Amino acid sequence: MSRHVVAAASEIAPGERKLVSVRGRPIAIFNLDGEFYGMLNRCPHQGGPMCEGKITGLVTAPEPGKYDYSHAGAIVRCPWHGWEFNIRTGQSYCEPERFKTRTYPVEVADGAAVVEGPYVAERIAVSVEERYLVVDL
């Protein structure tokens, strides 16, 4: 396992996402209110690119006619078939027992620490003033 610098933290604004590659593995990095989460960019259903999905919330109904809206901005829907996943946990809402998309913890590291290393950066030029997103893989 090694530590991979995948992006500068400032590249992904809150509510935005970015596709990166770690050891050839495509990973979508999401910024949820300043916290970063990584998700494999392949839907477990048929392989749709999760990074291009719509970010939304979760509508549930505890009983017919009553609607709850939760997880605003924390759900991503696959751009192909619309399967919904929790960005933080990778949990699927259609069949939570069976389907979960692979998630990757994303750590925010100071440029000074990154420069000391050891890290692997994918086409990232590192400066001590910036903060960086790091994935262990």
- Cα pseudo-dihedral 113, 124, 17, 71, rounded to 10: -10
| Window 21 to 80, contacts with another protein (CB under 8 A) | 21, 24, 26, 45-49, 52-54, 79-80
Dist. CA 40–CA 43, nearest whole Å: 8
Among 14, 16, 70, 81, binds another protein (CB under 8 A): 81
∠ CA(46), CA(49), CA(51), 5° rounding?
145
3-state DSSP assignment of residue 42: coil
Decide: 37 and 87 in contact? Cβ < 8 Å. Answer: yes
Asked if 107 touches another protein (CB under 8 A), the answer is: no
Nearest distance from C-beta of residue 109 to another protein, angstroms: 12
Among 1, 34, 64, 123, binds another protein (CB under 8 A): 123
Give the interface with another protein as residue ranges (CB under 8 A): 5, 19, 21, 24, 26, 45-49, 52-54, 79-82, 114-126
